[in-house]
Amino acid sequence: MCLHHEKYDNSLKIISNATCTINCLAALAKVFHDNFGVMEGLMATVHAITATQKTMDIPFGDTHSSTFDCGTGFALNDHFLKLVLCFENESGYSNRLVDLIAHMVFKE
């Protein structure tokens, strides 16, 4: 679910569960910020599609929004880390949407 779900107000007419990039990045960024203090960051996204490749989402059955690949990250210096996350678009996002709806029902 989104990081600011506690600010949900049932009088709202329009809500958003953000984007796949936010659902993938925000949770890990919050953990790093809470534990180490994030002063600034750089984000890049790579989408698995090219001009000659068809889009294909294959659910992995993982209900998490993203998976942190600790083996591929590294520190460029004392203040700049490269972190790699894989976002499972179909299943992960769908599960975060269900979490948000359950939270909305609870707030009613």
pLDDT at residue 35 greater than cutoff 60: yes
SS3 40: coil
- Contacts of residue 107, defined as CB under 8 A and 6 or more positions apart, other chains included, come to 8, 9, 10
Instruction: Place 34 in a pLDDT band, splitting at 50, 70 and 90.
Output: very high
Q: Give the 3-state secondary structure percentages of the chain, helix then strand then coil, rounded to 5.
A: 35, 10, 50
- Contacts of residue 29, defined as CB under 8 A and 6 or more positions apart, other chains included, come to 38, 41
Of these residues, 20, 24, 70, 86, which one is catalytic? 20
Q: Please state the rounded mean pLDDT for residues 68-73.
A: 82
Model pTM score = 0.57
What integer best gives the mean pLDDT of the chain? 76
- Whether 2 is catalytic: no
pLDDT at residue 86 greater than cutoff 70: yes
